[in-house]
Structure 1
Amino acid sequence: MASTVCEKLRTQIEEGKYAVGDRLPSEARLTEEFSVSRTVIREAVATLRADGLLDSRQGAGVFVLAPAEKTPLPFQNVEPARISSMIEMLELRTAVETEAAALAARRRSPAQLETLFETLHTLQELFAKGESSPQADFDLHMAIADATNNPRFREFLELVGPGIIPRRALATTSGGPELKAYVAILDREHGDIVQAIADGNADEAREAMRNHLLGSQARYRALLRRTTAGAGKGRAAMSGPSG
C-alpha cells in the first residue's frame, strides 16, 4: 500500500501538481485523499525523502525538493569521430580484452568455439566484399567475451557499445588503398586471436589480442599526428607570411 501511495505522490510531483518548494498537504489531508492510514503516508514520504524528492522540516511540514542531477552513465561521451576518443577506448580495451582472450582460450566450450569461427568467417566475407563490417567486428569481440564464461566481459562490451570499433572512425578520415591495407591487417590479427583460442593457448591468445589492440593504437596515433600536422599547415597557410 505504501509503495502505491509513494508512486502516486511521485507522479504528482513529476507532473507539477506540487512544484519545487511547495509544501505537501498535511498527513490528515493525505490520508483522506488516498484513503490510507497515517502510517502508510509516513512510509511513502520516507521513501520519497530517501530518493531526494522531499524534505521534512520540523514544525513546518514536508517540502518538495528539486530533483538531483542525474550522474551521467560511463562511456556516454565517447565520440567515434574523434581520434583521441578512440585511442582512449583502445587503451582501456587493451587492459580488459587481452585477459578475456586468455580466459577464452582456457574456458571456451566446443559450441563457443564454433560460434567464434562462424563469426570470424562472417567478418572475413564482409572484408572480401568490401562491405561495412564494424558490427561483425564487434560481434567477434563479443563472442570472445562470451567464451570467457565470465558474463562481466560481455557486460563491459555492451556498456561501451559497437561504436568502439576503430574502423567507424577511420572510415571518416581515410579510404581507398589505405583502408584496404588496414582491413587486411585486421583480418590477419583476428585470425591469429581465434586460432590461439582454438588451440587452447592462453599466452598466445593474450599476445595476439594485445598485438591487435596495440597495433590499432599505433595506427590511430599516427593518424592523429597526420591530422594535427595537416591542421597546423592549414592555419599557417591562412595566416600568410609574417614580418
Structure 2
Amino acid sequence: MQQAERRPRRSLTQQVITELRSRIESGSLPEGTKLPTEVALIEEFGVSRTVIREAIAGLRADGLVLPRHGVGVFVTKPKPTANLSGIFNVDTERLSSIIEALELRAAVEIEAAGLAAERRSPAQMAKILEALQNMAGAVAAGDSAEQADFDFHAAIADATNNANFGEFLTFLGRRTIPRSRLQEAGMAATAPGYMQKIHAEHQAIADAIANRSALDAREAMRLHLKGSQERYERLIRSRSD
C-alpha cells in the first residue's frame, strides 16, 4: 500500500476509474449494483480515501454511478453514445476538433449562465461557489482542477432549473473539459499563470450569477469559452513548432 501511494495521485485515481469503468461496461457490475464501501475499495486498490472519492466523482461525472445519501453508490445504466461517438475525442493533430467541442459548449453554456443568474436559488449559488473554492484549492495545491471545473459548470447548469442543461453535461461528462484530453495526449497546459487565468474567468462568471445579472453572466461565459479556444489553439500550435 505504501508503495502504491508514492505514485502521483492523479495516476492512482485514473487507475481506479479505469478498472471500475471496465467492470461496469463489461457487465460484471450491472446496473443497480451497489459499489463496495469506501473501506473495501481502499483495501482492494491499496490507495487513500481521497483517491477513491476522486475516482467515484469521476465515474459520477461520466454518468456511470449515482450516490444515494446514506445508502451507498450504485451503478447506473451507461448512457448511449452512438450519436456522439466522435465528440470530444480530441485529435491533437486537428485543431478544429477542439474548437468544435468548445463551440458546442458555448451554444449551451452561455445561455445556461444567463438563466442561472435569473433563476438560481441561494442553495444553488452556494454550490457554484463551493466548486469555485474547490478549484482554487486544487490550483493552489498543484493538483488537477478538472473535477472542480466540471462541478462548477454542472452547478451552473443545475441553477438554470431546467433539467435538460444538467442532463446534457452529465451525458458528456468530463469530456466537456478539453484540457483533460490535451493532458492525456501529453499537452499539459503549464504556461505560467494559466490556471490562475482560468480561475479568474470562473470567478467573473460566478460574480455575475451572484449579482443576478444575466447579461454579464452570458458575457463572462462567452469570454471564458472564447479564451479557451484561443488558449488551446496556441498550445497545439506551439507543440507543432
- The answer on 1:173 being equivalent to 2:187 is yes
Q: TM-score, normalised by structure 1?
A: 0.60
Q: Does 1:215 align with 2:227?
A: yes
TM-score (norm 2): 0.61
* Cα drift, residue 74 of structure 1: 2.9
Q: 1:210–1:154: structure 2 CA closer, same or farther, 3 Å change rule?
A: same
Q: Distance in 2 between matches of 1:101 and 1:145?
A: 8
Gaps of 5+ in 1: 1-70, 231-243
Equivalent residues of 2:157, 2:165 under 8 A apart = yes
**Is the 8 Å Cα contact of residues 179 and 189 (structure 2) preserved in structure 1?**
no
Alignment counterpart, residue 166 of structure 2, candidates 154, 157, 160? 154
| Inter-partner Cα distance in structure 2 for 1:145 and 1:164 | 13
Amino acid at match of 2:145: S
Q: 1:160 to 1:100 in 2, by over 3 A?
A: same
Post-superposition CA distance 1:27-80 (Å, at most 9, x none): xxxxxxxxxxxxxxxxxxxxxxxxxxxxxxxxxxxxxxxxxxxx9623322314
Q: Is the 8 A contact 1:102 1:206 kept in 2?
A: yes
Shift of 1:170: 3.8
Q: 1:88 to 1:139 in 2, by over 3 A?
A: same
Partner AA of 2:82 in structure 1: L
Match of 1:96 in 2: 108
**Residue 74 (structure 1) aligned with residue 86 (structure 2):** no
Are the aligned partners of 1:138 and 1:165 in contact in 2 as well (CA < 8 Å)? yes
The alignment-based identity, stated in percent, is 47
Matches within 5 A, 1:1-243: 73-77=82-86, 78-80=88-90, 82=92, 83-171=95-183, 172-174=186-188, 176=190, 178=191, 180-228=192-240, 230=241
Unaligned segments of structure 2, at least 5 residues: 1-79
SS in 1 for 2:193: helix
Aligned residues of 2:189 and 2:235 also touching (Cα < 8 A): no
1:81 and 1:168 in contact (8 A); partners too? no
SS at match of 1:161: helix
Deviation at 1:125, TM superposition (A): 0.4
Q: Distance in 2 between matches of 1:154 and 1:73?
A: 20
What root-mean-square deviation, in Å, do the aligned CA atoms of Structure 1 and Structure 2 show?
1.8
User: What letter matches 2:187 in structure 1?
Assistant: T
Aligned length: 157
**Take 2:144 and 2:219, find their aligned partners in 1: how far apart are those partners?**
27
2: CA distance, partners of 1:227 / 1:122: 30
Matching residue's letter, 1:91: E
**CA–CA distance in structure 2, aligned partners of residues 151 and 102 of structure 1:** 15
Higher-Rg member (1/2): 1
Paired residue type of 1:221: E
Please report how far the alpha carbon of residue 136 of structure 1 lies from its aligned counterpart in structure 2 after TM superposition. Answer: 1.2
Residue 82 of structure 2: SS of its match in structure 1?
A: coil
Distance in 2, matches of 1:153 and 1:139, equals 13
Q: Deviations over 1:90-134 (max 9, x none)?
A: 011111100000000000001101111111111110011110111
* Letter of the 1:79 counterpart: N
Whether the 8 Å contact between 1:193 and 1:205 is mirrored in structure 2 is yes
Please name the residue that 2:14 is paired with: none
